[in-house]
A and B are shown apart, each in its own frame.
Chain A
Amino acid sequence: MLEQLTTHARDAEQKNKRWSYASISDHIADIVLRKNFGWRWWLLLGISSAGTLIFFGAIAYLFSVGVGIWGIDIPVAWGFAIGNFVWWIGIGHAGTFISAVLLLLRQRWRTSINRFAEAMTLFAASIAGLFPILHLGRPWFFYWLLPYPDVMNVWPQWRSPLVWDFFAISTYITVSLLFWYVGLIPDLATLRDRAHGTRAQIIYGLFALGWRGDAIHWARFEQAYLLLAGLATPLVVSVHSIVSLDFAIGNTPGYHSTIFPPYFVAGALFSGFAMVLTLAIPLRHYFHLEQFITPVHLNNAAKVLLATGAIVTYGYASEIFMAFYSDDPYERYVAINRATGPYAPVYWTMLCCNVALPQLLWFKRVRHSIATLFAISLVINIGMWLERMMIVITSLHRDFLPSAWGMFWPTRWDWIIFFGSVALFVFLFLMFIRLLPAISIFEMRQLGHAAESSQ
């Protein structure tokens, strides 16, 4: 139970204000190796697994009936599925940014948040990867986007950004998985060594790949990890840039814009860091990781939010400016229509969530108020989701010929599949914190060592 954990943690704190190798390992590994995880975890797991089941049930229905169960139509042929895809991919970005870019930049504070941020990346990217397939009219032929040798000698059509997208996403998921897994190996070995049950020892042992903590192991590990970080770094920029090309390559006013790649990347980091905060704050609270995920981390994440939010705001402003500056009547109309048309409430709510409210982060008091930060992170998550929907839907619903204009109204299946994907994410995350250390043990140990030696 949590009470036990609480007393345990308090004892540890009282015993030793400073963290030793052992106490770090104890504290983090214990979370995983403990038998009882508390009713809150079970409750959340219950809800999220029910949601996951509903999600898969809805997918089964989708596959058997067709994408017509959603609200999409002509002209709005893309709806929630694409919006969700972009949103989830965006969320994933923060993890890669934290683990790879900040590693290369030697930002040591990243250590306490990179593990779960990477897990978040992996889960979010995997869920995102589902959506383009769910979105297909004939999902059972999704592999036709792959350049596999075919007896008919047909290949994908390389001019289409969807093909580029396919590669971008699959590369991203692969690299994220590898990066995450490689980073886990020393910790898996720690868990193997500390696990009580035989089964846990075998399973952790298998995945630890025979890690013994040799100097050579460490040397190889550091090299591999750094290499992977190097590989992952360009992905932070490339994946969402290519996702944005799905839109920017199209000629639809509201899509056809050169600002899209940087604007999407910034938006991705923005929403990703918001999600990091959304996950970190409850995590540190319930597992008493305040010593590991400190206000400094939250403060830094909030600053990143402020910076990326500013870029996103610049993106919005630039879109509006270019619409009028270009004198393109269609672009101009899209800008006006977003602000005054039938989807205006979405637009203004989005601006409120993504532009107005994050300005509170300029204040140190706000950045240090955990509850406020948590609230702002949720607001940004919602705002970014609305932004994705706004881009996908409002651009399409009134494009060139007024006779073809139409509306998109989500159906219950749109909502079920969206919330189902959130449930799946929560489910995966709960399983992750139950089975794997949510904070990198070995890196925390290094950090502790560094702190000790600097004293």
Chain B
Amino acid sequence: MNISLDRRQFIKLIAATGAIAQTACSRPPPETILPYVHMPERMLPGAPEYYATAFVQHGYAIGVLIESNMGRPIKIEGNPHHPASRGATNTFAQASILQLWDPDRSRSVRRDGIVSTWSEWLSAISSISVEAQKNRGAGLRILTGNITSPTLLAQLQQLKIQFPNLHWHTYEPLHNDNASAGATLAFGKPLDVIYRIERANVIVTLDADFLSHGPAATIYAREFAARRRPDHAAGMNRVYALECSPGLLGTVADHRIPLSPAELERAAWQLAELIEGNTINDAPNWLQQIALDLNRHRGESLIIAGPRLPPSLHALAHSLNERLNNSQHTIQYIAPVVPPQNASLQELVSAMSDGGVDTLFILNNNAVYQAPAALEFSAALKHVRCSIHAGFYVDETARQCQWHVPLAHTYEQWSDARAYDGTATIVQPLIAPLYGGTSPHEILNRLLGNESRSAYDTVRAYWRSLRSENFDAFWQSVLQRGVIADSAFPSQTVVARPVEKSRALNDASLTAIFAADPAVDDGEYSNNGWLQELPRPLSAMTWDNAALMSVATARRYNVNNGDIVELQHNGRRLQTPVWIVPGHADRAITLPLGYGRWAAGNSGNGVGFNAYALRPVDSSWFIDGIQLRKLGTRYSFALTQTQTDSADRKPVLHATLTELRAQPEFVRIDTEKNSGAGSLYPEYSYDNYKWGMTIDLSACIGCNACTIACQAENNIPVVGKNEVARGRHMHWIRVDHYFEGSKEDESAQKNPTVLYQPVPCMHCERAPCEEVCPVGATMHDSEGLNVQVYNRCVGTRFCSNNCPYKVRRFNFLQYADRERESLKAQRNPEVTVRQRGVMEKCTYCLQRITRGRIEAEKRGTPLRDGEIVTACQAVCPTQAIAFGNLNDGDSAVARAQHSSRNYTLLEELNTKPRTTYLAKISNPNASISAQLSKPEPRDA
């Protein structure tokens, strides 16, 4: 090549190159940006605001405060004024924010599965309305779930008046029909029951896990846990849990007695006899002791029957509570919050099959999936001329209906709902519907002919009709407080009739028990990644359900964890993998509902097996005489905890109340030998704040609410089943469970003590992680926090290796979804979204600490105790977590750390953790044989 360039030529060439390069780079298209001139009043950019509304589950409200940041709802907190919350929430409420932003939500009206338009839908419904006006609703039916909304109930009432021939059916797969029928048996009318758990000294539950299920579970958990603390003024309560299927309550009860449904029924009737003072020769000792204990605590005991039990047992529980003088003391009766059933799903199906249904509105109900397969709902649906599904997803039912109309999320619409005790809350929207959904109020308005009436007007009009004077002030105050004062239903004085002894359940070689799933409930939350990845209690299983059975049942059928079996009943078959749960009743298997969905969305499709396939037509909870056959194929689960034996390491220190009284400092026995070890590094000094946390293991019920609240607050990504199976789940606070029972004692193996332990970062004073990070990405801060600097992290993972608590989580791949728009908006703007290759862990909600500190500095006064609340602490239904300034001797956490029960995990390693635990105390009945009592703690 000839490279003879002179200077001029060279400069020419450079100039030409520059010019060409300039033309190649086009400017961005002109777009006009405008400053945020018309800022909404009171909105401070970056400062979160809270709005009071309600989370609605199975019709019942839990009052919540939703944190909204720059108009984006991002986090749910409980409403301290609301009777079903008092500041806490359950896992579902926490996950509901992800549901709001779910990219798989329905975005458009569909007709015959094809995207249609709102105007087409509006003309269709107005012609339905006109038609119904003519024939007074003949052939028109509505299917809903539980409804407590006073406005919606009033609208339905009006609909019935306007269209007398209309039928309204309700269907809830997790129904409470037996309790309602039981109340009718006992009192002659259906009544709801409110338990005053905190007042009860002795509680006997009959297959009733009141900590997990029911609209009051969160508040019952709080009341229950208050009495699990040995320093409570009224002393500790004592709980006997007779249960068919393992639930949270059984695991934290003083005595857990697993019984098959038929055995439980027999025991309940025997207990009744024993309470009467009769002697029964074949009654086991524990039952006699329970009866004695109940009789000793008349007026301060409680017998609770679970929703699965037949009505006769509910009636029995009512009459026993009456007899024990508990009525009006530990138990109250109110009018049913969900009005008594109108017509059932079974009636609807037979009407549909007969061709008697012309138009069917399915409002917020997924009956095609949730109805028992035996009912053949979807076949019957084909006989309906015009079927309309209004729902949140294009789910199984939406796909079978002629019309699908997207509903707005609860947090996008106006409505109202009642809590378990009848307290009403106005549901207010936090954001305009993301995908333009409608609300059931508006659909009913259109059906009634009030075409343009909005949900807002409807709700306001209903309440105006009740509180006409000074309505605007009333409205303001209820929106602000989130509860309508004095709207709880009054307690009724009723007398339970004695019940005739009867047997409703048969002894069977194998009974199947249907259960609400702790993660996806009845299937409504199948598409929620946070919930799917939340470890199920007692198995730590994620992204799956399984047929749960006891050790003995598994041995009887020669199956092991992961073996696929075929269950058969009345010609219906179901293939499912097996999971063995120690403490499950023998001769029974539990089938969690809510899985095996085919139109749930990207996350929920094809997860687990569908237990509705085996459910009988009346949606009963038990089926006896089920056949089990081992297929010889295997299935693998994704667990977040594979080891449930504590390997004699005593991570959870525990003792009975008697032992605690005898030796208040029992936790020191183990740890004393290690105290006093020094360090080569100088001590840190803290002039200002010194943060610390204490977790009371006596109060922890293992519900996992902390895990999911932390996930929501800290933008923790979902990793999926395969990654969880590899051991890469990302939860910053995990709830460990250990089964403890002596290895020699077979019965202790079958029904072991369950110990829970939430494990966040310990924020060690001498943190092993800090010493080994080569780039100083994990550091000690001036307030004692062990902070992780994501930007500096290069990902050597040495810190995780060196962390004895293994609380650090690593982004092995790019886990945070940085593509999907709606998920971007969901995230907490105060917390970094982590890149792949960096380590992360619990920060004690550093963003909340910082916000609190800034507020305090603005105010000019130091932070008050309780002003900063971590996400896990806020959500905890049992208030097991205390957080605050250890430099302040009066702070709750400092006081807790001076408790005699206070101990540190792995103290012998001299890491000096900031997070400490209060030892678990139980209160077993000493008279019950060792076989059923907890094993003696080794510490004492």
By a beta-carbon cutoff of 8 Å, the part of chain A in contact with chain B is 65-69, 71-78, 135-139, 141-142, 144-145, 154-157, 159-163, 166, 246, 249-252, 255, 329, 333, 396, 398-407
Find the A residue at minimum CB distance from B652.
A403
- Alpha-carbon distance A251/B316, docked complex (angstroms): 59
List residues 872-918 of chain B with CB under 8 A from any CB of chain A.
905-906, 909
Q: A66-B814, A250-B798, A404-B805 are in contact. List 20 more A-B contacts (CB 8 A).
A: A73-B728, A75-B727, A77-B810, A136-B794, A137-B811, A138-B795, A141-B794, A142-B794, A144-B774, A154-B776, A156-B774, A156-B775, A157-B773, A157-B774, A246-B798, A250-B772, A329-B648, A403-B734, A403-B738, A405-B643
Chain B residues, CB < 8 A from A255: 801
What are the interface flags for B790-823 relative to A under an 8 Å C-beta threshold, 1 for contact and 0 otherwise? Answer: 0011111110111011101111111000000000
Indicate whether B448 reaches chain A with its CB closer than 8 angstroms.
no
C-alpha spacing A407/B725, complex, angstroms? 10
B645 near A403 with CB under 8 A, answer: no
* Interface contact A163-B800, CB-CB below 8 Å: no
In the complex the two chains form, is A405's CB within 8 Å of B812's CB? no
Contact B794 A404 (CB under 8 A): no
* A-contacting 9-mer, from B461-469, B483-491, B834-842: B834-842
A66-B812, A67-B837 in contact; A160/B798 too (CB < 8 A)?
yes
- A-side contacts of B805, CB under 8 Å: 400-401, 404
B801 touches A252 (CB 8 A): yes
Q: Tell me the minimal C-beta distance from A282 to chain B in angstroms.
A: 37
Q: Which residues of A contact B641 (CB under 8 A)?
A: 403-404
CB of B647 within 8 Å of the partner chain: yes
List of 3 A-B pairs having minimum Cβ-Cβ separation, nearest first: A137-B795, A137-B837, A68-B812
Q: Are B759 and A403 in contact (CB under 8 A)?
A: yes
B726 and A333: CB pair below 8 A? no
Residues of A within 8 A of B838 (CB): 137-138
Contact present for A138 and B837 (CB under 8 Å): yes
In the bound complex, do residue B772 and residue A159 qualify as a contact, i.e. CB atoms below 8 Å apart? yes
Given A77-B800, A333-B647, A402-B738, A160-B727 contact (CB < 8 Å):
no
Q: Mark B720-754, 1 if CB is under 8 A from A, else 0.
A: 00010011100000101110000000000000000
A-B Cβ contacts below 8 A, count: 166
User: How far is A131 from B795 in the complex, measured between Cα atoms in Å?
Assistant: 13
Cα separation A74 to B645 with both chains bound (whole Å) = 19
Chain B residues within 8 Å of A, Cβ to Cβ:
641-649, 651, 723, 726-728, 734, 736-738, 757, 759, 768, 771-776, 792-798, 800-802, 804-806, 808-814, 835-839, 905-906, 909
Closest B residue, CB atoms, query A79? B797
Given contacts A137-B797, A137-B836, contact A400 B906 (CB under 8 A): yes
Residues in B with CB closer than 8 Å to A400 are 649, 804-806, 906, 909
Among A139, A252, A404: residue with most chain B CB under 10 A: A404
| Chain A residues, Cβ within 8 Å of B801 | 75, 77-78, 250, 252, 255, 396
User: 29 A–B contact pairs at CB < 8 A?
Assistant: A66-B811, A68-B728, A71-B726, A72-B797, A73-B727, A74-B727, A75-B801, A77-B800, A77-B810, A78-B797, A136-B794, A137-B837, A137-B839, A138-B795, A142-B794, A155-B776, A157-B774, A160-B771, A161-B772, A251-B804, A396-B801, A398-B643, A400-B805, A400-B806, A400-B909, A401-B649, A401-B651, A403-B759, A406-B727
A181–B587 CA distance with the chains assembled, in angstroms = 77
> A75 CA to B727 CA in the complex, in Å?
8
Query: Contact at A66–B813, with CB atoms within 8 Å?
Result: yes
A250–B837 Cα distance when bound, in Å, is 21
B768's closest neighbor in chain A, by CB?
A: A251
What's the nearest-Cβ distance from chain A to residue B246, in Å?
19
Cross-chain contact A145 with B774 (CB below 8 angstroms): yes
- When distances are taken between beta carbons in the complex, the residues of chain B under 8 Å from A402 are 643-647, 649, 651, 738
Report the separation of the CA atoms of residues A235 and B906 in the bound assembly, to the nearest whole angstrom.
38
A401 vs B913: C-alpha distance when bound (angstroms): 15
A401 touching B813 by the CB < 8 A rule? no
Give complex CA distance A246, B796 in Å. 11
Cβ contact within 8 Å between B649 and A329: yes
Tell me the smallest distance from the CB of B814 to a CB of chain A, in Å: 7
Residues of A close to B726: CB separation below 8 A: 71, 73
- In the complex, what distance in Å separates the CA atom of A312 from the CA atom of B647? 30
Residues of B contacting A329 in the complex (Cβ-Cβ under 8 angstroms): 648-649
Interchain nearest-CB distance for B803 vs A (Å): 9
Determine whether the beta carbon of B642 is less than 8 Å from that of A405: yes
B642 & A406 in contact (Cβ 8 Å cutoff):
yes
Residues of A within 8 A of B737 (CB): 403
How far in angstroms is the closest Cβ of chain A from B913?
Answer: 12
**Complex formed: what's the CA distance from A246 to B771 in Å?**
12
Choice from A77, A166, A399, A405 contacting B774 with Cβ under 8 Å: A166
The docked-state distance in angstroms from the alpha carbon of A202 to that of B808 is 57
A75: chain B residues at CB < 8 Å are 727, 800-801, 806
- CB <8 Å contact, B774 and A160: yes
Q: Which residues of A contact B806 (CB under 8 A)?
A: 74-75, 399-401, 404
Report the Cα distance A154→B792, complex, angstroms. 10
Which chain B residue has the least Cβ–Cβ distance from A400? B804
CB distance from A427 to the nearest CB of B (A): 28
Nearest residue, chain B, Cβ from A133 = B794
Q: How far is the CA of A139 from the CA of B811 in the complex (A)?
A: 14
Residues of A within 8 A of B773 (CB): 157, 160
A166 to B, closest residue via Cβ = B774
CB contacts (< 8 Å) of B736 on chain A: these are: 401, 403
Q: Which residues of A contact B775 (CB under 8 A)?
A: 141, 144-145, 154, 156-157
**A77-B810, A402-B647 known; A66 vs B836 contact (CB < 8 Å):** yes
User: What residues of B have a CB within 8 angstroms of the CB of A71 in the complex?
Assistant: 726
Q: How far apart are the CA atoms of A66 and B24 in the complex, in Å?
A: 35
Whole-angstrom distance between the Cβ of A253 and the nearest chain B Cβ: 9
CB distance from B591 to the nearest CB of A (A): 27
Cβ–Cβ contact A74 & B647, under 8 A: no
Which residues does chain B contribute within 8 Å of A68, judged by CB atoms?
A: 723, 728, 812-813, 836
Most chain B CB within 10 A, of A67, A163, A396, is at A67
For A67, list chain B residues within 8 Å (CB): 795, 812, 837
- The interface residues of chain A lying within 8 Å CB-to-CB of B643 are 398, 402-403, 405
What CA separation (Å) do A172 and B773 show in the bound complex? Answer: 22
- Complexed CA–CA distance, A401 and B801 (Å): 13
Given A137-B836, A401-B649, A402-B646: A65 and B727 interface contact (C-beta under 8 Å): no
Question: Nearest chain B CB to A98's CB is how many angstroms away?
Answer: 32
A163 to B838, CA, bound (A): 18
* Chain A proximity of B169: nearest CB distance (Å): 46
Question: In the complex the two chains form, what is the Cα distance from A69 to B798 in whole Å?
Answer: 19
Could you tell me the distance between the alpha carbons of A160 and B776 in the complex, rounded to whole angstroms?
9
Closest to A408 in B: B727
Q: Are B800 and A74 in contact (CB under 8 A)?
A: yes
Q: Do the beta carbons of B772 and A74 come within 8 Å of each other?
A: no
Closest partner residue, chain B, to A250 (CB atom): B802
A36 to chain B, nearest CB (A): 36
Q: Are B794 and A144 in contact (CB under 8 A)?
A: yes
Chain B residues near A138: list those with CB within 8 A.
793-795, 835-838
* Complex contact A137–B810 (CB within 8 A): yes
Which single residue of chain B is at the shortest CB-CB distance from A251? B768
State in angstroms the CA–CA spacing of A137 and B811 once bound together.
8
Which residues of chain A are near B808, meaning CB under 8 Å?
74
Are B759 and A160 interface neighbours, CB within 8 A? Answer: no
Which partner residue on chain B sits nearest A159 by CB separation?
Answer: B771
- In the complex the two chains form, what is the Cα distance from A402 to B796 in whole Å? 23
Bound Cα distance from A137 to B642, whole angstroms: 26
Interchain CA distance A155-B811 in the complex, whole Å: 24
Is A73 a contact of B812 with CB atoms below 8 Å?
yes
Cβ–Cβ < 8 Å partners of A407 in chain B: 642, 727
CB distance A162 to B796 under 8 Å? yes
A403 CA / B738 CA spacing, docked (Å): 8
- B772 CB contacts on chain A under 8 angstroms: 159-162, 249-250
| Cα of A76 to Cα of B642 in the assembled complex, Å | 14
Contacts of B812 in A (CB 8 A): 66-68, 72-73, 137
